[in-house]
Chain A
C-alpha cells in the first residue's frame, strides 16, 4: 500500500539532506576544478566529466551556510538536467535510503527563507530528520 522512494543522502554542515535517486546521475569524490572568474558566488568551478564540462555549485553557499573548513575537499553529487549535468558540492556522501512516503512532511514554516525555498520537505526517521532538496531549484542560477 505504502509507496517507497529512494533518496541519495549527503551531509552538508549540520544538515542531513537527500535527493530523489532518479535525479542523481552519479556521485564522485573530489574532482579538480577550474575556477571561473566573474561567475556567481555559488559557482565553485568547472569539472571535466568524461569529456563533458560540468558546472560545480557549492551547495553550502547556495544554502547560505558557513564556508567549508579549508583542507576539506567537497564531494560531487551530479544531477541530471535537460541542459546537461550539474554538480552539487557537498561535504560527505551518505547511503541511498529507501523511505516510506508516509514519513514525508512539508517543510516547517519556521525554516530560514533561503533554506526553505530549496527544501521540498522533511523525512522523519526515528533518530533524525532528513531534508529533501529540491534539486531543480538548487541548480537554478540565483536571482
Chain B
C-alpha cells in the first residue's frame, strides 16, 4: 500500500511538472507551429502521463490523455498544422488533466468527470475536422471554464501590432484556458500537493555545496585547534556553536545527496524475471532494506557491479528446477537482497540458495587458467579458494553464455567496489548457496581518519580500514615481535600478524627512538596486517582531495587533505600499501607471469624453487617455473658442434651449458662416468640443457631478496633453508648462450 502511494506521488510530481512545461510549450508552439523539438516534447509529456495513468488504473484520465496524444501524433507527423483551435483544445486537455490530478492527489481517484465533449473535440480535430460546433460547445461546457462574452471585445485591444489578426484569437483562447487553471489551484490549495513539497535540484549545485561544506569543515577544524590555546569563554562558546552547526550542516548537505538503494534495486525484479526465464530457472527475488540510503556518487558506482552480481547469481548460482528438486529443495530459487547501515557503513548482501561454489571446479579452472600452481592449490583453505573467483580472467561458467562468463567478471566487480573504498567478501556453502557481502562507505567526500606520524610527516589513514591499535613498550617489543627470515610478525591473540613498517615503505627515516612500537592494525583485501608507525596522533574528519599528476603513480597515497593547522597531510592508500608491502598479492600478477614465461619474478610472496649445486659450495636456486624437465644424461651422449657441446634430445639438438662455468666457479670433481645432471629449460623453439653438479631439493618458500644487486647470471641472493643461496637468472644465461647457438 505504502509503495503504491509512493508511486502515485512520484507520478503526481512528475505530471505536474510536465503540465507546467506543456503550458509553456504550447504557447511557444503557437508562435512557431513548426518547431519540431517543442512538438516532440509536448508529445512525450502527454504520452508519459497517459502511459503512467494507464498503469496506475486511472482510466478516465488515460482516456483524455489518449485523445490528446492522438491529436498530437498527427501534428507531429505533419498531417495537421497547429492552429489556434487545436491549441485551445490541447490547453483544455492540459487543464482537464490537471484537474483530474488534483482529484488523484485529494482522494486517490481520478474523479467522476469524463470530459466527453473535450474528447469529442479532440477526436474531431484529429480527423481533420474544422474547429466548429463541438469545440465551442466544449469551451462553454467545461464547467471550470466560463468564457465571458465581454472578453471578445476587450482582448483585441491588448494586442495591437503587426500580427494583430493572428495573435488576438490565440490570446483569447489561451487566457480562457488559463482561467480554470487558476481556479484549480485555489480550490486545491487546502492540502499540500506533493508537487509543492519537493523541488528538483541540479546535481552540480549539490556537488559544489558539498565542496563548500568540506571547506567549512576544514575551517572549523582549524578554529577548534586554535581554541585550545584560548580561554575567553564567549569565544569558546561561540566556537562550540560553530562546531555544532557545521556538523549539522554537513549532515544536512550529505542527506540531500542521499538516495535509497531501492532506486538501483528497482530494476532487478525485471532483470531477474527475464534472466530466469531465458535460463529455464524459477527465481524469486526478495528485498530487504530498500530504503537504506547512500550517497548518489556511490549509488552510481555500485549500480553495474550489483547488476553483475545478480546476473551471476541466477546464471551460475541457482540451479534449474529439476536439479533443485533432485537436491531436495523447492523448485523456485530465492535471491535475497539485503541492505542495512552498520558502523557508519552500508552493508549489502546478495544471497542465493543455489548450489554454491564448487571448490573442485574452482580448483580445476584456476589451474587451467594458470592462476595458481598445484602446490598453491593444495595449501589453500576453502575460503582462499572461493576468493579465486575474484582473479582476473576467472570464470566458472562451463560455457560462455550471453549473460555472464565473458572474462570480465568478479574481478571487475571487486575493483569497482574497492575503488570507492568498499570491501567485497564471498562465502559459499556447497549445495546451500552463496552470499556476497559488500561493505561501502556512506560517502566519499568527508571521511573520518586516524592521523599518524612517520618520520617528519603526518599521514591520514581512513578509518574504514582500521581494526585496532596496539602499543608495545620496552621489552614487550622483543617478546611479542618475532622475525621469520627478516619478516617481522606480531602475535595478535594467537595469530601471526605480518608487520609492515611505514617508514620502510615510504623510505623515510623513522623519528621514534625504538622505546615503543605503535601498531595500527589494518584490513585490506580481507587480510589483516599491522602498520608500524612512529606515533598515533588523533582522529579527525578529513576532506579527501586528489593529488596532482606528479604523484599519480605512487600506490601508497590515496590523496591529500588539509589538517586543522592548515598544513597538508597525505592520505594513505591502505590497499596500495598492502600490495607494495606484499601483504596481499597484486592480482593479475600471476596471469602476467603465465604470458611471459621467461620473466623471472621475484615479487611473489612464496615461490617454488629448484635448489642445485654448481661448483664447490655453489648453492643456487632456479625458479621451478623456468624448468621444463630434469634429466640424467650419460657422459658419452655429449657430441660436439663447432665449439659447443650438444646432446640429441627428443629429436632436437640441445646445447648444453655448464652452470659452474656460467657463474664462474670451479666445476665439482665427479666420477668420470657419472651421468650428467641436466636441467632442461624449454624455450618456445629451442630447448637448452643446463648442466649442474647436483640437484639438491625443491622448496616452496617465501623469498626475501637481500641486497647485492644483479651480477652476471644472478638476480640476487636470499636465505633459503637457512643457507645463503644465489638466485639464478635463467633467462639471462639462456639468451647469452642461445645467441652463440644462433650464430652457429
Contacts and interface: CB of A to CB of B under 8 A. Distances in A.
Contacts of A42: 550
A8 B550 CA distance: 24
A46 B554 contact: no
B569 A34 contact: yes
Contact of B567 (A48, A55, A57, A83): A48
Interface in B523-561: 545-551, 554, 556-557, 560
A42 B550 CA distance: 9
B246 to A, nearest CB: 15
Contacts of B549: 83, 141
A57 B566 contact: no
Interface in B146-195: none
B566 A36 contact: no
Given A34-B569, A36-B570, A46-B568, A83 B457 contact: no
B550 A141 contact: yes
B570 A43 contact: no
A77 interface: no
Interface string B346-361: 0000000000000000
Contacts of B458: 34
A12 to B, nearest CB: 19
A113 interface: no
Given A36-B570, A37-B508, A141-B550, A51 B457 contact: no
A86 interface: yes
A38 B547 CA distance: 13
Interface in B193-221: 215, 218
Contact of A35 (B456, B550, B566): B456
B682 interface: no
Contact of B550 (A32, A39, A48): A39
Interface string B604-629: 00000000000000000000000000
B548 A35 contact: no
Given A51-B218, A83-B548, A38 B457 contact: no
A130 interface: no
A47 B556 contact: no
A35 B457 contact: yes
Where chain B touches its partner, the secondary structure class is mixed
B696 interface: no
Interface string B432-474: 0000000000000000000000011110000000000000000
Interface string A1-38: 00000000000000000000000000000001111111
Nearest to B454: A37
Interface string A69-109: 00000000000000110100000000000000000000000
B506 interface: yes
B507 interface: yes
A38 B554 contact: yes
A40 B550 CA distance: 7
Given A34-B568, A46-B568, A55 B545 contact: no
B567 A34 contact: yes
A39 B567 contact: no
Given A48-B562, A51-B562, A39 B568 contact: no
B501 to A, nearest CB: 13
A41 to B, nearest CB: 11
A53 interface: yes
A55 B215 contact: no
Given A37-B508, A38-B556, A39-B554, A48 B548 contact: no
Contacts of B456: 35
Contact of B551 (A32, A36, A51, A84): A36
A83 to B, nearest CB: 6
A40 to B, nearest CB: 6
A19 B456 CA distance: 34
Contacts of A38: 506-507, 554, 556
A53 B560 contact: yes
B567 A32 contact: yes
A33 B456 CA distance: 12
Interface in B77-110: none
Contacts of B506: 37-38
B216 to A, nearest CB: 10
Nearest to A36: B551
Contacts of A35: 456-457
Central interface residue in A33, A48, A86, by most chain B CB within 10 Å: A48
A53 B557 CA distance: 14
Central interface residue in B215, B507, B548, B549, by most chain A CB within 10 Å: B548
B568 A47 contact: yes
Contacts of B557: 36
Contacts of B546: 53
Contacts of B508: 37
Interface string B635-665: 0000000000000000000000000000000
Contacts of A52: 545
A54 to B, nearest CB: 8
A84 B568 contact: no
A46 B568 CA distance: 7
A48 B569 CA distance: 10
Contacts of B550: 39-40, 42-43, 55, 57, 141
Nearest to B557: A36
B568 to A, nearest CB: 4
Nearest to A84: B548
Contacts of A48: 562, 566-568
Interface in A56-73: 57
Nearest to A142: B550
Nearest to B508: A37
Given A38-B556, A51-B218, A53-B562, A43 B551 contact: yes
Nearest to B552: A141
A37 B507 contact: yes
Nearest to B580: A38
29 contacts: A33-B568, A34-B457, A34-B568, A34-B570, A35-B456, A36-B554, A36-B570, A37-B457, A37-B506, A37-B507, A38-B556, A39-B550, A39-B551, A43-B551, A46-B568, A48-B566, A48-B567, A51-B218, A52-B545, A53-B545, A53-B546, A54-B548, A55-B548, A55-B550, A55-B551, A57-B550, A83-B548, A84-B548, A141-B549
Given A38-B507, A141-B550, 20 more contacts: A34-B458, A34-B560, A34-B570, A37-B455, A37-B457, A37-B556, A38-B506, A39-B550, A42-B550, A45-B568, A46-B568, A51-B215, A51-B562, A53-B545, A53-B546, A53-B548, A53-B562, A53-B568, A54-B548, A86-B548
A-B CB proximity, top 3 nearest: A37-B506, A55-B548, A34-B568
